[in-house]
Every structure is written in structure tokens, then in C-alpha cells.
Structure 1
Amino acid sequence: MIYQRSSALFAEAKKVIPGGVNSPVRAFNAVGGDPIFVKEAKGAYLYDEDGNRLIDYIASWGPMILGHAFEPVVKAVIEKAKKGTSFGMPTEIETQLAELAVSMVPNIDKIRFVNSGTEACMSAVRLARGFTGKDKIIKFAGCYHGHSDSFLIQAGSGAVTFGAPNSPGVTQGTAKDTLLAEYNDLASIQTLVKANKGAIAAIIIEPVAGNMGCIIPTDEFIQGLRTLCTQEDILLIFDEVMTGFRLGKGGAQEVLGIDADILTFGKVIGGGLPVGAFAARSEIMGHLAPEGPVYQAGTLSGNPLAMSAGLAMLSELNSKPEIFNSLAQKTEYLHQGFEKVLNAKGIPFQINRFGSMLSVHFTEEPVIDFASSAKGNNETFKKYFHGMLDKGIYLPPSAFESYFLNDALSYADLDETISALEGLSL
């Protein structure tokens, strides 16, 4: 394919934007070459500035679960924009989206809207510390909870791709309050809890990880984590920015059968507009200002355009829960097709899949945590990524990212994708 205009636009962008992008993974540093500049998108397809059509497997990193330019969302945003784009005052639609989200998700009474997943996770940790009166948190190597200082300790995804999981600018004072455990390793958490008895406010985790590939928690691990938090009076925070309203109406909590104490959301809850949220039972949320002493605010929080997009998206998912089965079946179909092709090629690989999330790892070992994910053959991944791109398939440009399927994908699209892989020389 020809990407002359994308390359020219990237050269121009680098003159005025650091690295030419506004989020690092977009720069293609992990796979080489210049990034693709998108002109428009519809359904399952991206159309770039050179006129190429690409089958999309990132869905804007998750939110486009029903495909691009989904008509009810587009219509809702247009109609709301005609009435004003921001007020800095309460609006009825904030309550409507809050009521719908609370009705769909288990174990929450109240929700606070913010503007990004990063902001949601940052606020959730502050709330946990304020509620418990403790300072330390535990996170997991390879899990990404946004770029707030507390989380840039082996952060996964973009941080790993760029070789700086401990980012300059994060102070030692901040880092000392973040303890690092290993995903799917309950003993690593137990050791930290024992060594920091009574000092841990919260454990934050991606219940199904998506930033070191798609990593699935074992039952023993995730159940043990809930039990340990209850026993030690530690709040369990599920970062459902990726999994919320994607794995099911009630997200990972519902699918895994685990009740977290605080939840964070993003992506799908905004229908493609910048929205984040955090939620918990009333006892915890009552500590937030203006009810309580834990301060959190945002001028554009609850923005009417974002709320209208989120309400349209969640209304569709709530009224048609069969969408989640449809997505899971399509993801399984792609998994089986890829597995058959890669087995025939005799290439070491692992495919992880959960619901509509999937990742391909070029390694012989099962991928269960950050360390095993990092063992993948990145040179093979580069050939795979660019080979698929040349055939009109847009995959995540990093081996540490999950695919996010959207329900606009047809089985013909999936077959085209599988055929593209079959034609690659890896």
C-alpha cells in the first residue's frame, strides 16, 4: 500500500507535536515505519489519508465497540451540540447516564464522571487513601492505569514499548508508596501485604489485562486477591477502563463473579468521546467533595456532548445484551482461524482471548504475566504487523497491546483477515 500522504503529515506533525503524536504508541516506534493518519472511519473500516481502506482491530483502543460513526451516538452528539457544548453547571443527562451505569454494573451505588481513564484511576486511588487513611498501593507489573505518577512503575503498554516504565519526572517520594506485584502470582501480593502490614490502602488491577497483551487472571489468583483484600482491610480497585461495558453489561466484575470496592471506567462509557468515571458503594463515595473531605474536580467533567455519546452507547448495549455474545463469537472465530494458520506455518505462538479482547504472542511459553509477555519475538511481530498492514489489516502497533473487536466486523472481514495472515512470510 501507498502511505505517502501519511508520511508527509507525520513529518509536519513532528515539527509542532512531540514525536509527532499525542499518545506515544501511535508513533510506531515499536514496529518501525511511519504511523497511518486516519481521514475518516465507518463501521469496521478506517480510511487513511492516502485513500486506503483498513479493517480495524483496535476500535480506538476499545470504545468503538459497535463500530465507527455508530448512528445513534453520532445523532445524539449532533443534537446535543446544537444546544451548547459546555456549561460548567449540572445537567440532567449526567444523572441519566449515572443511573444507567449504576443499574448495569454490580456492586456500585454512585459514580463520578471525569475526562479520561487516567483521571479516573488517579481519583480512585486518592479516594481509597482518603477513605482508609493509608498511603501505600499495590499495582501489578505490566498493568497500565494511565500516566499519573503513582502508576508509572512498570506500567506496560506504551511505557514498556518506549523502554521507560519508570518515567523521568516521577519522584522517589511518589514511587515509594507504589508497591509492585506480579500478575497471576498471589504469593507476590501476600509477601507485600505481610511486609507492609496495615499500610496498604488499595490494590489496583486490570481484572483482565490489556496492556501486556490480553492476560487472563486465573480463578485462584483473582478469588484469592478478593479474599486477601477483605481479610486485610484493603480496598480492591478494578480498573475497568478497557473491560467495563465491553466484556458484558456489568464488565469484568459480572463475568468473573468478583465484587471490587472501587471501579474505574473509560472508553466504552464515553461512546468515543473523552470520558472517564469511578464508582463505588455509597459509604466510599460519600468521602468525595462536596459530601466529604477528598477533593476532586473538573471543569469539563460531565460534559454534555460526552454524556450524550455515553448514554446512547450504553443504552444500546443495555437493550441488546446479545451483542456481547456476538462479539465473543467473532473473536473466537478469528482466534481459531489464526491458530490454524500459524500452526501450519510452524511458528511458535500463543493466542490469548477473553470476550472481545485478543492478543497474539510469538513465543513458545504461555503468556500469563508481564515477564512471559516480554519474551515474545518482537522481530517476528514487526513482520507480522507490517505484513498485515500491507494487506489492509490494522492491528495494534505494539506486541504489548490487546486487540479490541467491534461488532460491525463481518465474518467476511474476519475471513479476509485470516487470509491475509495465511499469505504472510514470517
Structure 2
Amino acid sequence: MWTRGYGSLWWSSRPLRACGIHACANWHNGEVPTERSADLFQRARRVSPGGVNSPVRAFKAVGGTPRFMTSGEGAWLTDVDGNRYVDFVGSWGPMLLGHAHPQVIAAVQEAVARGTSFGTPAEPEVALAEEIVERTSVESVRLVTSGTEATMSAIRLARGVTGRDRVVKFAGCYHGHVDPLLAEAGSGVVTLGIPGTPGVPAHVTADTIVLPYNDVDAVQAAFAEFGGQIACIITEAAPGNMGLVPPAPGFNAALARIASEHGALFISDEVMTGFRAARAGHWELDGQREGWAPDLVTFGKVMGGGFPSAAFGGRRDLMEYLAPAGPVYQAGTLAGNPVATTAGVTTLRLATPELYTDLLATSLRVRELVGEALVGAGVPHVIQAAGTMFSVMWGVTDPVTDFAGAQRQDTAAFAAFFSSMLDQGVYLPPSAFETWFVSAAHDDAALTTLSEALPAAARAAARALDDRP
């Protein structure tokens, strides 16, 4: 059937239902079956640390049994126990079009049939690089396989170009698990309450200068003291790993200016926001509008269409420092994988300007529904956004502008809200410090399920706040 949502037309082989595969009565009675997920989690813990391959998936911050998913279609996920959920994680951003979009699946199937990896150049990697260059400020791109690899490589390039060692980053910004950038990081580091960076020698972070986010004065002071030693400033274009904390107006522009004045490079991390916050990434929302561009940019998530793929790029003169054109070495056996790049370029070509207009409308509607429910239950909160991306700050009443503010959230209120939503068939990021994602496949049925689940979840959050000591 064809259904029309807030995004593009979506084909489904079966009618969309507001309830899961299991009878709705199971959910209403609080009897959501999780036996198979629990069994898999026990098996996983015997062979994997914590039973997961990325920490937030373990549900430590929210409690309960992590759900092991078996399939996704459109805006919906199905777990191994047969429960069905409206998905607001979207594989942490890549599912811009929804799960298993038929055109992406068809393109990937054709690519797989031709071979899964060659270890040589192939046309899809050129097409994906061209698409990235066409959309963004960068002139040249190097493909890699993860966002961590992209930021690690961009910093190596900045150090190689400038001949300097120090790096400026901001508390609460997460740039992957690169050793020197784990200092005061967001994402799973803050979700799990990990103090410092165990396993990272002190000398590795000695050249990392950590500053409060959105504080231009602190940046100027750091450059006044260490200007001739700083290779680069790196920041998330709009931080989404301490909750969504948008840059203050002119903040990114100030970073670009200060870096340039001192001979350093400005690296904008768009691994999360790239092609997700807007068609050209968050740069479209400030840089393109204000007439400035970062020196280097990192990308990931959406550009892989759900496959492991990432990139870094920037001005051509800087990128030409990379081997084999220049002396800064960087390489990757599976970089530019033909299946991953096919998925990525197909996704980006389907992500038209009209799709982003619809995606923003969906995001705005979800924010309205969530806000109305929380206000109705008397839950203090702030909803913060950057383009199509947003998050809820729990138990606060003023806008959050930095990591210290984000850490004042009431995580118990979120955990109660999360568990109630999960039991009612809505899958949210299992952390108060992560961003919500919508897709072009979130249609009326998906939003109805969300709307019906919100009142009980908001009341659960209110009770958690009332139970605070």
C-alpha cells in the first residue's frame, strides 16, 4: 500500500498498525514479552563486554532489558519477541528515509551482486564524494569507515599542515573514541558517568585544551596563551551528544575567525548533523547563511545510508597534504566500500530539498506533541533543536547552553519516561544525553502511536520528579 506521511511516498507490503504484532492488550496490561531479548542479552554478556558492541545499547542509564531488533520497515522496528515500535533513534541518524527504503535496498542488492569489496577504486565512491562536494563547503573528500576515524584523521591532517600539536575542543562535545578527544566528552561517556578517560595516558590528553561550549571569551583566552601552539579547534557543528545544545548565534563564525587569525584550522564535526540537520548539514543553517566555511569537516551517519561509512574533507590545498598527494599518511582497507557508498549516494540523491521541508515539519510536530504532554503533566523541561534534530532537557526550565547545564538534567525522570514509552511501542534513544531523530517514513500511524503513548509516559516522569529526595 502507499501511505502519505510528512515525508516522501513510502511503500509498505502490509498495512501500518498503531499497535505491535502482539495484541495491544499485552502492552496495556504491562505484559510486554521480552524473553527472547533477555536470553540474547545473557548470551551476549558471555561473549561481549557488557553484552553490547556500543555502550549506550546496554540500557544501563534507563534500566530494563535491551531490545534485540530483528527487522525495520519505514518508521517501525520489530524485536525478536515480535514487539513493534515506532523508532525515534533511526540507527542514530542514518535512517533519513526510514528503514529498508525500497530504492536503497534495490541499489544495495545490485551492488552486492557485483561484489562486496574490491580493494581498488570503484565508481560509487567517486559518485558519493561528488555528492558531498556538491552539497557542502568542502572541495575535496577522503572516505573512511567511521566517524571516529574521520575526526582522528582530520586532526592528524591539521597537525601535519600547521606543524603544531595542541587541539582545542569543548566540554560535552563527542568526536568518537579518539584518545585525546575523550576528555570531558559527551555521548556514552556522560551517559554512563565515566570519570575522566581510563586507558588514555595523561600525556595523550596533555595537548588537548578543553573549554566551555558557547564561550567565545574562553576561546580567545586560550589562543592568547597558546596561540602559536594550537593546530586546530574542533567542535560539533551543533552538539548532539550532551543532548542537543545549539551553538549561540555567531559562535561557529567566531571560531572560524579566531582560528584563522592565529594560523590554526577550524574543524567542524558534522558526523551527526551532516545531511541530517539540513540538506547541507548544520553549515547550511549558519555558515552558508553568514558567509563563512570551516577549513575541514567530518561526516558520517546519513552519508552511509546505514552502512559503516564516513568522510572528512575541506579546502583542496589542505586535503592535498594527504598521501599519496602529500606527506600526511592516512589509509583504510575498506574505505570507499562499494556497497556502503552505493547505499550512501542512493540515500543522498533521494534526500531532496522537499524531503527536508517535510522532515522539519515532522520534527516540529513531534516536538509539539512531546511538549504538550510534558506541560500537561507538570514536568519541567526544555526542548532544544538544530534543524530537524532535537532533544528534551529534563527537569530544567532555562535553555541549556553548555555541558554543565546539560549535566543538571534529571536523568531519573527521563528513565521513567523512556520505560513507559518503550512499553507502549515507542523506541527512544536510551539516554537523556542523546538526540531524537525522525524520518521521511514517520506518517500519521507513527505519530498516532507516539501521541497515544505520551500522556502516561509524561505522568511517569512527573512521578519520578516527585519521588526525588
The answer to whether the superposition gives a TM-score over 0.5 is yes
Q: Please give the root-mean-square deviation of Cα atoms over the aligned residues, in Å.
A: 1.1
Q: Of 230, 234, 251, which residue of structure 2 is paired with 1:221? A: 251
Mapping of 1:124-139 within 5 angstroms? Answer: 124-139=154-169
Structure 2 partner of 1:347 = 379
Q: Give the Cα separation in 1 of the matches to 2:232 and 2:103.
A: 38
Structure 2 partner of 1:311 = 345
Q: Give the Cα separation in 1 of the matches to 2:385 and 2:129.
A: 30
Structure 1 partner of 2:11 = none
1:108-159 superposed Cα distances (whole Å, 9 cap, x missing partner): 1110000000000000000010011110101111111000101110110101
Mapping of 1:143-162 within 5 angstroms? Answer: 143-162=173-192
1:191-249 superposed Cα distances (whole Å, 9 cap, x missing partner): 21112121111111111111011111111322222221121122110110111111222
2:107 counterpart of 1:76: yes
2:121 counterpart of 1:90: yes
Structure 1 partner of 2:299 = 265
The answer (yes or no) to whether the contact 2:36–2:81 under 8 Å persists in 1 is yes
Identify the range of structure 1 (173-182 vs 408-417) with the bigger mean alpha-carbon deviation. 408-417
Matched residue SS, 2:250: helix
Q: Give the Cα separation in 1 of the matches to 2:350 and 2:125.
A: 17
The answer (yes or no) to whether the contact 1:365–1:372 under 8 Å persists in 2 is no
Structure 1 partner of 2:260 = 230
Identify the range of structure 1 (406-415 vs 198-207) with the bigger mean alpha-carbon deviation. 406-415
Q: Of 264, 269, 287, which residue of structure 1 is paired with 2:321? A: 287
Q: How far 1:165 moved relative to its partner?
A: 4.9
Mapping of 1:92-241 within 5 angstroms? Answer: 92-106=123-137, 108-241=138-271
Q: Give the Cα separation in 2 of the matches to 1:67 and 1:93.
A: 22
- Name structure 1 gaps, 5 residues minimum: none
Matched residue SS, 1:41: strand
Structure 2 partner of 1:360 = 392
The answer (yes or no) to whether the contact 1:335–1:353 under 8 Å persists in 2 is no
TM norm structure 1? 0.97
Mapping of 1:330-341 within 5 angstroms? Answer: 330-341=362-373
1:67-90 superposed Cα distances (whole Å, 9 cap, x missing partner): 001112111111111111111111
Structure 1 partner of 2:27 = none
1:16-72 superposed Cα distances (whole Å, 9 cap, x missing partner): 011000000000011112211001000000000110010000100000011001112
Q: Of 421, 435, 448, which residue of structure 2 is paired with 1:388? A: 421
Q: Of 54, 57, 62, which residue of structure 2 is paired with 1:23? A: 54
The one-letter code of the counterpart of 1:16 is V
The answer (yes or no) to whether the contact 2:268–2:297 under 8 Å persists in 1 is yes
Structure 1 partner of 2:280 = 250
The one-letter code of the counterpart of 1:374 is Q
Q: How far 1:8 moved relative to its partner?
A: 0.9
Q: Of 67, 71, 74, which residue of structure 2 is paired with 1:40? A: 71
The answer (yes or no) to whether the contact 1:141–1:183 under 8 Å persists in 2 is yes
The answer (yes or no) to whether the contact 1:350–1:360 under 8 Å persists in 2 is yes
Matched residue SS, 2:210: strand
Q: Of 434, 443, 448, which residue of structure 2 is paired with 1:401? A: 434
The one-letter code of the counterpart of 1:353 is A
Q: How far 1:412 moved relative to its partner?
A: 3.5
Q: Give the Cα separation in 2 of the matches to 1:410 and 1:304.
A: 32
Q: Give the Cα separation in 2 of the matches to 1:71 and 1:139.
A: 40
Q: Give the Cα separation in 1 of the matches to 2:141 and 2:365.
A: 36
The answer (yes or no) to whether the contact 2:299–2:312 under 8 Å persists in 1 is yes
The one-letter code of the counterpart of 1:275 is S
Q: Give the Cα separation in 2 of the matches to 1:3 and 1:193.
A: 53
Q: Give the Cα separation in 2 of the matches to 1:4 and 1:228.
A: 55
The answer (yes or no) to whether the contact 1:143–1:206 under 8 Å persists in 2 is yes
Matched residue SS, 2:231: strand
Matched residue SS, 2:311: strand
Matched residue SS, 1:203: strand
TM norm structure 2? 0.88
Matched residue SS, 1:347: coil
The answer (yes or no) to whether the contact 2:278–2:388 under 8 Å persists in 1 is no
